[in-house]
């Protein structure tokens, strides 16, 4: 995922830009870290990172689904 895509989806789901969860999701989805690496880097739980990654991925899936409807 590109940084632009991430930030667009980030806005849609209403995540705080300065949260550890948000920065962790960015590290996983844009920079290619594993969730474990991101959780250690952000000093938060792996489940926090997982939940934020899932929120972004769900928004992406729904956005893509809506994009093909006419």
For residue 37, what are the domain limits? Answer: 3-67
Q: pTM to 2 decimals? A: 0.88
What is the per-residue pLDDT across 14-35, written as a single tens digit (0 to 9) for each? 999 899 999 999 999 999 999 9
Q: Count up the domains in the chain and report the number.
A: 1
User: Which among 65, 13, 18 has a CA at the least distance from the CA of 53?
Assistant: 13
Name the pLDDT band for 65 (thresholds 50, 70, 90).
confident
Cα end-to-end distance, the chain, whole Å: 25
- CATH code, domain with 36: 1.10.10
């Amino acid at each position: 995922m590109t940084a632009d895509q991430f930030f667009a989806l980030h806005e849609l789901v209403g995540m705080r830009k300065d949260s550890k969860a948000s920065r962790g999701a960015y590290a996983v989805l844009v920079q290619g870290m594993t969730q474990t690496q991101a959780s250690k880097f952000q000093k938060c739980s792996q489940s926090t990172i997982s939940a934020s990654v899932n929120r972004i991925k769900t928004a992406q899936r729904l956005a893509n689904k809506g994009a093909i409807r006419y």
